Amino acid sequence: MLTVVSPAKSLDYSNNAKTKKHTEPSFLNEADQLIDGLRKLNPAQLSSLMDISDTLAAENFQRYQEWQRPFTLKNAKQAIFAFKGDVYLGLKAEDFGTADLNFAQNHLRILSGLYGVLRPLDLMQAYRLEMGRGFGVNGSRNLYEFWGSKITEDLNATLKQQSQKKKILINLASNEYFSSVDAKLLDAEIITPQFKDWARGQYRVLSFLRRKPGVR
C-alpha cells in the first residue's frame, strides 16, 4: 500500500528535525532545471505567476537564488518535518518513533511541483511552486507536461518493491496534485476516500476536521 498527499505552502526551517537520517530526492536534476527557469523571473513576475503578495514573491525570489546542491542537513530539511500545513500538523511526525518513520518512508509519498515526488525523509530546500501554475521549462507549457510520466513511473517502481500481491494506492492528494499522476498507467487499485460530516441536515465533504481542545 502506498499513500500520496499534497505538499503544504507553510514551511518551517526554524529548528532541526528530530533525526539526522535523511535521503536524497529522486528528481534533483529535474528540480535543477525548474530552478534555473524560476531564477529568470523577477519578483513582480513571480507575484503574477503564483498570485502571491509582493512580500511572498520577494521571499521566494530569494529562495530560488539561494537554492544549491548538494543538499545537506545545514541547508535543507527532511520533507515530513519541513512542511507545516494542516495535513502535516495532523500527522505529528515529531512524535514518530523509528518504526513510524521507517513505515512512512516506505508507504508515504508527497507530490511536489518542484521535486516531483518526495519521500518523507528526502531533504528539501524551501520553495513555492504549485503544480497547477502555468510554468514550464524546456518547451513544456506547464508542470504537468514537464513531469510527464515520471511521477507515475516513480510510484509504480515503489509499488513494485512492496511485498503485497494486491497493489493499492490511497489518494489523499488534491485534484491539482493527483492530476500529475496518470491513473491509467498506475499499476495499483486507486482508493480516493471522501470524509463527510453531518451538518444542517446533510453530509458535507470535509478537507480537515478541527476539533475543539479536549474533545476526542
**pLDDT (0 to 100) of residue 113:** 98
Question: Cβ(42)–Cβ(53) under 8 Å?
Answer: no
pLDDT higher than 70, residue 206? no
**pLDDT (0 to 100) of residue 208:** 61
Question: Cβ(191)–Cβ(170) under 8 Å?
Answer: yes
Q: pLDDT-based confidence at 201, cuts 50/70/90?
A: confident
pLDDT higher than 80, residue 25? yes
Mean pLDDT score, 147-168: 95
Instruction: List, for residues 76-126, the tens digit of each pLDDT value.
Output: 999 999 999 999 999 999 999 999 999 999 999 999 999 999 999 999 999
**pLDDT (0 to 100) of residue 120:** 98
**pLDDT (0 to 100) of residue 210:** 57
Question: Cβ(71)–Cβ(78) under 8 Å?
Answer: no
Question: Cβ(109)–Cβ(79) under 8 Å?
Answer: no
Strands 108-112 and 123-124 turn out to be: unpaired
- The one-character DSSP state at 103 is H
CA dihedral sign, ordered 172, 86, 119, 127: positive
pLDDT higher than 70, residue 216? no
Question: Cβ(5)–Cβ(172) under 8 Å?
Answer: yes
Mean pLDDT score, 142-155: 98
**pLDDT (0 to 100) of residue 196:** 78
Instruction: List, for residues 162-191, the tens digit of each pLDDT value.
Output: 988 899 999 999 999 999 999 999 999 999
Strands 202-205 and 196-199 turn out to be: antiparallel
| Secondary element (H or E) of residue 112 | strand 108-112
pLDDT higher than 80, residue 214? no
Q: Which residues contact 123 (CB under 8 A, 6 or more apart)?
A: 22, 23, 24, 25, 71, 72, 73, 76, 77, 78, 79
Environment class of 204 (CB within 10 Å of its CB; exposed 0-12, middle 13-18, buried 19+) = exposed
Mean pLDDT score, 43-69: 97
